[in-house]
Structure formats: C-alpha cells, structure tokens
Chains A and B, each alone.
Chain A
Amino acid sequence: MNNAEKKPRTKREPLIYITKRSDLSLKKSLLIRAAVILGGILCCAIITMLLTGVNPINVFGSIINGSFGTPGKLWNLLQAAAILLGISVAVTPAFKMRFWNTGAEGQVLIGMLASVACMFYLKDSMPSFVTIIIMLVASTVAGALWAGIPGFFKAIWNTNETLFTLMMNYVAMQLVSFFLLFWDPSHGYLNPLNSDTKNGWLPTLFGRKQLIIILIVAVITALVYVYLKRSKQGYEISVVGESENTARYIGINVKKVVIRTVLISGALCGVMGWLLVSGNSHTVSTTLVGGNGFTAIMVSWMSKFNPIIMVFSSLLVCFLQRGAGQIASDLGTEMPGASNIGDVLTGIMILFVVASEFFVSYDVHFRRRTEKADKEVEKNVHA
C-alpha cells in the first residue's frame, strides 16, 4: 500500500471502545487481577485518608489485626469463612442450572429452626450422637422443602424463582419469630439449649470449637465439587443451565432435573443450618444467619460457580468484613461515624474484585493516534 498518498484524516471512532477478549493466558489474567486488586487497595487508602484523616497504614493495620491479631481471631475468621463457603457451595448447584435461588438465608434459617426444635423437644432423652443425627435429618428435610416449594412451582408453572425464593426468606423469619414466642411467650428469646449436658452439640476437637465446622464444610465443598464436575447428574445440571432446548433434545427430563437440583441445593442449605446450631449457636434467632445467605450469592458468582475458587473468595470476603469490624472498634472512640468506614472499604474492595473480572474478559481500547494505528493495521494486514 502506498503510504505517500495517505493524508491524516479525522478518526471519529468513539473515544473508548470495548471488545471481548478471545483468549487470555492464565499468567496474564492473574496479573490483571493482581493489578486491579492493588488498585483497589490504593483507592481504599486514598478514600480513608480523605474521609478520616487517619494514616491509611494504620487502617490497613487494623484490617489485618482484625483477622490475624490473635489465634482466637484467626480461628473466628476461619469459621466465618467456612460458614460462608458452605452456604455458597450449597446455592451453587441451583445457580449452575441458572436457577437464581435468592432464598439461601431462609433455607439456612429454616434448617436452624428444625434443629433447634429437635433439641428443644428431645432434650436429654437420647444419646447426643443420636440427637445430632435426628437434627441433621430434620434440617436437611426442612431446607429441601423450603427450596423445593419454589422449585416445584418453577418446574411446573414456570414461576419466577428469584422472587419466590426471596419471599420465602421472610416466611422463614416469621416462622422463627413465631416459634420463639411459642416456646417463650414472655421474651421470645431462647438461650443456648442443653448448655449443661451438651446433648446435640458437635464435639470440640483439639480444644477448638471451630475445627469441626471447618472440617465438615471442607467435606461438603469437596463433595459438591466432584458432584458438579464428575457425576452424570452434575453434567445434566450444566446442560439444563446452558440450554433447556439442548436438554430436551437429548432427552433430559428438564422438570425432574430442576426439582432434583433445587432439592439438593435446599438440603445443603438445611445442613448448613444444622451445622450452625449444632456446632456454634445451639439456638436460633431471626438474625443468626447474618446475611450470609445473601453474601453467598455474591461469592458463588464471583467464583464462577467453582467450589474451589469459592474457598478463596469466602476467605477474602470474611477477611474484609472482620477488618471492617476492627476499624470500627479502633476508630470508633475517636470519631463518630467511623464505624461505617469499614463497610465503605469492604464495598470498594468487592467492587474492584468484580471489576477485575470485567478486565479479564474485555479489552478496553482508547481511540488511537492515526499514525500509530496505521502502523498497527499494516502489521496485522501483512501478518
């Protein structure tokens, strides 16, 4: 091509345009993620300085201190992460099928209620391990039922599962309130049950109450990973999620798979409810799930429905949450309103993590200078 006859010409392409990346090496994608997260930390630092005037190094110190300050704090971090991970893993089979289960909070809560009810009525009538098993069964069934109702409606009448499962959360909360008042009409509050005999309590291993929760969640995570990746049912879930038409075409009974998967997802949430009661709280209240059912949705998405990545995502989220709590208590005495700065920082970090996914899948171009662009084009054409 003759360059001499070309004159500079106004390029009126948009200033910024975005294209999808086709292939990206693992190394490069990790680099992008690291860079974006670094940017997030920097952004956090600047915002903290502007808002509080406190040296950001101190703030980061607080965050790290909140998670790793003492062995106790570390164990609490691990337990919190395990619980979040467990619930994230529980919602994943449904998500993988593109069934947007926003009802994990309620499914866990109803599982907790079922376990507490077992403890409340059984008391010491059975050996502890029998009580624990009965609790487990009851919670599993309760969780499965709570997810199964919207699942059934979705499969048969194609109702919107997002709204339905969300509403079921409130029904679960009201049920818990009802039973608390039913059991204790004067206060509507239940102290930890069987604190004297520890009947229905999971055992404490190596002096750490948190350990058994972490172990059980690890087993659940591994099982779900294998189920989704290697089993025939897991394959059916992927096919139904990707394209219902393809599923019908190869003879998958879509309704059956939807109901089955939602039942499994709900049952796992129920198991998490049991774990919370039997391993930690030994009682129930409407706030004990603590929003984990919703955070789990984000964790599952962030991890692209891969249980192994969820281990890291839930650790990161809990680390930030704990750090936020620490900032609030460290700064709280000096300045009112500081308690919220932790949440602001958590929000910023999560935003950056989500943004890193964007930069991994898309390439952002800026309008190029004519000469440079011409050279690039030449290179491509001759390649």
Chain B
Amino acid sequence: MNNVAIELRGITKCFGSVVANSNVNLKVYKGEILSLLGENGSGKTTLMNMISGIYHPDQGHILVNGKEVVINSPHDAFEYKIGMIHQHFKLVDLFSAAENVVLGLDGEGRFKLDEIEKQVLEISNKYGFNIDPKKKIYDMSVSEKQTVEIIKVLYRGADILILDEPTAVLTPQETQKLFDILRRMRADGKAIIIITHKLHEVLELSDKVAVLRRGEYIGTVNTAEATEESLTEMMVGKKVELNINRPEPVNPTERLRVMNIDCKNRDGVKLLDNVSFSVNAGEILGIAGIAGSGQRELLEAIAGLQKLDSGSIIYNNPKTGAEEELRDKSPLQIRELGVRLSFVPEDRLGMGLVGNMGVVDNMMLRSYRRGKSIFLERKGPTELANRIIQELEVVTPSAETPVRRLSGGNVQKVLLGREISSSPTLLMAAYPVRGLDINSSYLIYDLLNEQKKKGVAVIFVGEDLDVLIDLCDKILVIGGGCVSDVIDARSTTKNEIGYLMTNTKKGRRASDE
C-alpha cells in the first residue's frame, strides 16, 4: 500500500472558453496538510468542487488510495471518504449539534440520539474539540458552528478533509485552536487540504503548498523551503513588494466625533451599544472586529442610513469651521450641509454600485442631480468614467459594459474611484480589499494613503489584522456592538487585537486618548 490518500493527474476544466483549471497535478499523502494557495479566481474552489463531486473534470484522473474514481455527487464523495467544509456553513439553526451531525444520513427507523451524542463526544475528545452535542446551533458562535461542520464530516468517516478558507471568520485565538485540532488530525493519519490566501497561516500549518495561478498549476513546494516572498512570487508571477506604506499624519485635527450612539434592530437587540470615538483628518482609523459586530451599522449610521436611538455624530467642517450634527439626517441632507462624505460600502454591487449599469451610469449615481434640467447630463460622467478607467487601469470592454461583469478588483476600482473623485473630507471604506488579488489590494492601500496625505479622515474596516496593523494609525476594536478599545496601531500586536475582539468590557477607556 502506498500512502497517497488522493491524487489528481492532469486535471483540466473549462467553462465555455474560460479555462478554470489547466493540467493540475496534486498529491496528498496520509498524515499530511497541504495548503492550496492562489489568488481569487485562480481556480482553487473549482478544483475542490471537482473532488467533492459538484463538477466533473474535462480531462484527467482522480485517484483515491491509488484507484481511479469518478465522483458524481457529494454523496459519492462521502463514499470515498472525502469531506468538504465549506466557507458558508450549511447547518439547521433550530437543531442541536448532534442532530445536525446525523442530518441527511441514511438509516433504519429512529435515530438513537443518546448514542449519537456519545459518538460526537468521542470524536470531540479524540481531536480536542470543545463542543456540547446538545447545544442548538442558534446559540453557537461562528467558531462553534465550524466545529460542528468538521465533526459532521468526521462522523461520516472522512479521511480526506477539505477546508475552504476556514480562518476567514475566526479570531487569531480561535485560529490557533483550529490549527491544533488540524495537527491532531494529521497525527491521526488524515489527509487535509486547506484553501487559503493567508501566507503566514500557510507557513505555520502546512507541510506542503500547492500554488495555482489563473487556473494554471504552478507547482508544489515543501513549506519548510518556502518564504512569504517566494510564495507570493509563485502566486502572482512576479516579485511583489509586500510592504505597506504608513506616512506620518500631518497636523491631525478632529474631523468627526461619534458620541455614545446606540441602535437596536427590530427585535430590540442592540447592534451598537454606547459607541464613542473620534477620527482625525490626515489619519487612517482602522476598525477591527469579528464579522457582524456592528461595523456595518456604525458606518451606515455615519452615512445617514441607519436610525439611531441615542447619541450624537458631530462633523467639523474644515471650510467653515462649523460643527454639524449628522444624526437623524438623510444622506441627501448630509450632502446639502456641505459634508463631503464618501462611503465605499461592504456590498459593492448591491449598495455602492448598480450591477446592471455600465461605468458611466454608475458615475452618475453621485452626480445625476446636478443642474436644473429634468434631463440627464451624460458628458461629465462619461469623462469621469473614462478618466477612472484610464488612471486606475480598470479592465473592461467598454465604459457601458455592466459592471457586474467585471472582476472584483475592477468593480472596487470603479467604486473607490468614484468616491474619491468627489474630493471627500471623510472617507469610509468597508472591507475594500475583500476578494481582490494582491496587486489590486496594494493599489487600494496606496489610494487610501494618498487620501490620508491630502488631509482626508479615513475610516477603514478590515478583516486582515496584519494589514490593519501595517496601514492604520489607530485601530478601534469592536465586539458585539461595543467599542473594546482604541489602540495605537504602531505599538499593538495581533494577539492584543484578537483578545479585545472577544473580550469586550463596557466603559473601558481608550488608552491612548
């Protein structure tokens, strides 16, 4: 018997004329962790979907334990002991952990839930999970839900585990816990494939790294012989400067002051709880927190899109020196006050842009009201569109092509380009590099820094803590709608931020203010 758990030979997959995977060769041994590395759109997910039976390769062979197999459905994949843990959990909220684990399994008669719970606990103890099989999903944190997903595939006897960006939703501490568990599974002889684009995690966890670039299989290297630089070069195809600039703030003065704001959702749950902070002109304020901790509500409150129950949002107009109250004002009223607020929302195509419209029409979103005529003026927006396409190197067939057809990076350039073009005094960007390739990401960081140098107050909501620490001047950590702390980005560590993300103490004073 050889020790190869799963092998891919010459896998090619095309969608129409688009080649998603071209001649990919992979080998994962038992008791090995392989990282599958590649930028967005490089074909990682397509490849894994072929292993888990969602797509079929056009060419090539899949071998499990040395035997060629045809995997037609996720059910087939389980027969071959392949289990995939998706990025988006597929769990029934109202069921307990144990119920979710057995959901969809064949069996005669009634399930004996006691026994299942016992088995779940056994698996859990074996690998060091920490889970209560009786707990309902709706009571669980993100990391607990992920645990249930992993136990689900282990319960079905999976020997080959595929994890699709498992750390994207976790704090640094939770990530460490997950890595410990994965290491224990490795020791137990499981073959693990982990999809990620976080380089330091790749280096820390895996034994081997396979790199894809635009569907092409670039190669597999031993992690021990790789560095962040060498991996990036493999991913991008050329050397990339991985340093983010952080110019010193020049003459920072307070631009925006948020005081004790509260807001609740329809069920009366507090989304923002007594949030206070201030942003200075010429500085980048980072906002860190687990996804859904109130970041969106906070930005939307400032933009006039979220009703507040109490508190105050004060804007210092640099031109007139006047202090303006923004609370309870509509976006249009805020604009009429002379507040030059630009906002790059998290949902680019669903909020910042109209997917079915071209670049020109999307430029018009901000400017169409100008002038007294009842008809649209298209000349200005067309010029702006062409300028943005040229200056930011937006790849698009034409300025009229619907923006939803553009890649994520180009969509973001269009959106950020439009927001910057109105020369803002306050710029808010929510996850502006999510889903972008490395080059586009660095272009976005440069654009934000440029705004900072122009004296714009920038608020940057990010998920990658390394980037937040390198780019921002201050970092506000938010947890469950409360401000945990505002810290100096130059002297903090990832662990400190991670700790603050989950350990919110009300009434804690910002240490550096």
- A residues near B (Cβ < 8 Å) are 1, 6, 9-13, 19, 22-23, 230-235, 238-239, 242-243, 245-246, 248-251, 253, 363, 373-374, 376-377, 380-381, 383
Contact = CB atoms under 8 A, between A and B. Distances in A.
Q: What bracket does the count of chain B residues touching chain A fall in? A: 35 or more
B353 interface: yes
Contact of A231 (B70, B303, B330, B376): B376
Nearest to A236: B368
B331 A243 contact: no
8 contacts: A11-B56, A12-B72, A22-B16, A231-B375, A232-B374, A235-B364, A246-B350, A246-B351
A19 B15 contact: yes
B131 interface: no
A12 B56 contact: yes
Given A246-B351, A374-B59, A251 B331 contact: yes
A276 B472 CA distance: 67
A380 B19 CA distance: 7
B15 A251 contact: no
Nearest to B362: A246
Contact of A22 (B352, B353, B368, B405): B405
**Which of B59, B305, B356 has the most chain A CB within a 10 Å cutoff?**
B59
A249 B343 contact: yes
B10 A245 contact: no
Contact of B23 (A1, A11, A232, A239): A1
Contact of B305 (A6, A238, A249, A377): A249
A251 B367 CA distance: 11
Contacts of B332: 251, 253
B365 interface: yes
Contact of B356 (A12, A242, A381, A383): A242
Nearest to A383: B17
Given A12-B70, A12-B72, A249 B351 contact: yes
A246 B375 contact: no
Contacts, number: 94
Given A1-B10, A230-B375, A373 B58 contact: yes
B330 A380 contact: no
B22 A243 contact: no
Nearest to B405: A22
Given A232-B374, A381-B23, A238 B369 contact: no
A239 B369 CA distance: 13
B269 to A, nearest CB: 21
A78 B331 CA distance: 48
A249 B419 CA distance: 12
B357 interface: yes
A83 B58 CA distance: 53
A245 B364 CA distance: 16
Given A251-B304, A380-B14, 4 more contacts: A232-B374, A232-B376, A246-B351, A380-B17
Nearest to B356: A242
B347 interface: yes
A38 B318 CA distance: 68
B12 A381 contact: yes
Nearest to B378: A230
A354 B10 CA distance: 42
A381 B22 contact: yes
A249 B303 contact: yes
Contacts of A11: 56
